Amino acid sequence: MRRVLVLGSTGSIGRQALDVVRANPERFEIVGLAAGSNRGALEAQAAEFGVEHVALGAAEAEQLVRDVDADVVLNGITGSVGLGPTLAALETGRTLALANKESLIVGGDLVTALAGPGQIVPVDSEHSAIAQALRSGDRSEVRRLVLTASGGPFRGRRRDALAAVTPAEALAHPTWDMGRVVTTNSATLVNKGLEVIEAHLLFDVPYDQIQVVVHPQSIVHSMVEFVDGSTIAQASPPDMRLPISLGLDWPHRVGGVGRPLDWTAAASWTFEPLDEDAFPAVALAKRVGRAGGTYPAVFNAANEEAVDAFHEGRLSFLGIVDVVARVVDAHDAPSSLTRESLAEVERWARDAADRVIAAA
């Protein structure tokens, strides 16, 4: 029986994690729940699972991690506010099932320095796929990681065809049902850029050995290419309950969480190169990742401000990544990386993004 603390329990990842637990009561026990602001839904979840320890907001969630006796902490919080709970989970020695990629990307060396071997288990479908594929060989045998991207709702469009994209169109993702920020990030491919940085930090693979390929069917969730020329891929119908279940009980698999592929039906899987002219976010993310330090925090914070401006009608779709690039270019990194310097840098990046947006 694994004791599980779910952060972001009322969001998409949190709700699907509770589905996994609900279907496997002999395997998992919920010992704590935290939500961002939805008190009513949080209280309903706590009542259903008989949970006494609950928290509302990131600060309370961080304290909950320190106070509650859990085997695994699932961090499904959205945004860089998840950094505190991530650090708390690592400091207390708990297994961290990480869906909050921003905390790893923003925290960088702060997070990786705290993490023991195998303490962070990725929950993003792409990184879970890589973690599974890496069990097929030694790390020294890895030639490159291949992250797959659905291409979002605008796959195949040239850059000039993206100028008039509306928020409603950007939220019409062809595969995944996610929140506003993540869905928009998938449309701009900022999310894939963040995942490239995440892959580098999780698996210690150089950026020039991490490739993004467009795979619109979203069946192959990512691949590892080895030095002998073989490629190991993890494939399944798109369902986040599979990587969530692995995160909760890694390296063990939980039966029945997802449906298998139907090998009796004809199907075609296609792979296409990424159009970096139309979608420059991945190349920008690699540049930011190589710079390290506080640059990923600037990238993430500026993007969050730009996404809000886009949905409020103050910025064009193409303007999102353009604003992020301008803020990154203007950043003067501090000499040290601490929680305090990160908070200060994020405030600067948001203010700088707002100034760029206002002048656009």
The pair of structure tokens assigned to 219 is 């069946």
pLDDT in tens, 90-127: 999 999 999 999 999 999 999 999 999 999 999 999 99
What distance in Å separates the CA atoms of residue 8 and residue 5, rounded to the nearest whole number?
Answer: 10
Calculate the average pLDDT of the chain: 95
Query: What mean pLDDT comes out for the span 335-353?
Result: 94
Predicted local distance difference test score (pLDDT) of residue 173: 75
The pair of structure tokens assigned to 221 is 């969730």
pLDDT in tens, 178-220: 678 888 999 999 999 999 999 999 999 999 999 999 999 999 9
The CA R_g of the chain, rounded to the nearest whole Å, is 20
Predicted local distance difference test score (pLDDT) of residue 25: 96
Closest by CA to 81, choosing from 290, 330, 304, 244, is 304
Q: In what order do the strands lie in the sheet with 210-214?
A: 231-235, 220-226, 142-149, 210-214, 272-273
Closest by CA to 96, choosing from 6, 16, 219, is 6
Predicted local distance difference test score (pLDDT) of residue 178: 64
Cis? peptide before 122, omega within 30° of 0: no
Spatial neighbors of 35 by CB under 8 A, at least 6 apart, are 8, 9, 10, 11, 14, 41, 42, 54, 55, 56
What distance in Å separates the CA atoms of residue 34 and residue 81, rounded to the nearest whole number?
Answer: 13
- Any alpha helices (H) in 2-71, and if so which ranges? 12-23, 39-49, 58-67
Q: In what order do the strands lie in the sheet with 2-7?
A: 54-56, 28-35, 2-7, 72-75, 95-98, 120-122
Interstrand relation of 120-122 and 142-149 (parallel, antiparallel or unpaired): unpaired
What distance in Å separates the CA atoms of residue 220 and residue 270, rounded to the nearest whole number?
Answer: 10
On whether the pTM is more than 0.85, the answer is yes
Look at the domain 2-123+240-249 and name its fold.
Rossmann fold (3.40.50)
- Residue for token pair 């637990």: 21
Segments making up each domain of the chain, as ranges: 2-123+240-249, 125-157+168-237+263-276, 293-360
What distance in Å separates the CA atoms of residue 320 and residue 308, rounded to the nearest whole number?
Answer: 9
pLDDT in tens, 217-267: 999 999 999 999 999 999 999 999 999 999 999 999 999 999 999 999 999
Predicted local distance difference test score (pLDDT) of residue 177: 61
The DSSP symbol for 218 reads -
The DSSP symbol for 209 reads G
The pair of structure tokens assigned to 91 is 């400091």
CATH 1.10.1740.10 fits 293-360, yes or no: yes
